[in-house]
Amino acid sequence: MYSISEEDYLGTIYRYRDDSGEIKANVIADKMEISNAAVTDMLKKLAKRKLVFYAPYKPVRFTKRGEELAGQLIRRHRIWEIFLHRIIGMPWEKVHDEAERLEHNASDDLINRMEEMLNFPEYDPHGASPETY
């Protein structure tokens, strides 16, 4: 299992990496509004868990396992967002924070059922407007 914090890092890397799949540590720090030192600590931890490739002063990239895991997290996040917006009627600008809390706890079974209920929506890992759906 991974901590909520680890999962949030993976999600941030997935969303903001460039087309070649790389992201600089200071970009992660900016996006997450935390210190460069904290990011460095976490990247070392994620590298130890074989989720990212990390070397000092080099951009970070996912391992195959890290990429798969992050993709699953983003999927859960987007399913929650679409569910909250479409079914609960929550305004789009509010769903992200709510989804951040919920995505870590739902079982795979619940997520799969929600996805089916929503009729298998297309989702955009970078965050799309509700008009996309």
Q: Of the listed pieces 46-54, 68-76, 89-97, 106-114, which binds Zn ion according to CB under 5 A? A: 89-97
Is 58 or 96 the residue whose CB approaches Zn ion more closely? 96
Q: Of the listed pieces 42-50, 61-69, 88-96, 116-124, which binds Zn ion according to CB under 5 A? A: 88-96
Beta bridge partners of 62: 52
Minimum Å distance from CB 68 to Zn ion? Answer: 20
Is 59 or 121 the residue whose CB approaches Zn ion more closely? 121
Is 4 or 37 the residue whose CB approaches Zn ion more closely? 4
Angle at 114 between CA 110 and CA 12, to 5 degrees: 85
Instruction: Count Cβ atoms within 10 A of the Cβ of residue 83 and give its class: 0-12 exposed, 13-18 middle, 19 or more buried.
Output: buried
Helix (H, G, I), strand (E, B) or coil at 62: strand
Instruction: Count Cβ atoms within 10 A of the Cβ of residue 6 and give its class: 0-12 exposed, 13-18 middle, 19 or more buried.
Output: middle
Helix (H, G, I), strand (E, B) or coil at 53: strand
> First and final CA of the chain: distance in angstroms?
32
Considering only 50, 65, 96, 113, the residue that binds Zn ion (CB under 5 A) is 96
Q: Of the listed pieces 31-39, 60-68, 91-99, 108-116, which binds Zn ion according to CB under 5 A? A: 91-99
Residue nearest to Zn ion (CB): 96
Is 96 or 101 the residue whose CB approaches Zn ion more closely? 96
Could you say whether residue 44 binds Zn ion (CB under 5 A)? no
Q: Which residues of this protein are in contact with Zn ion, per CB under 5 A?
A: 96
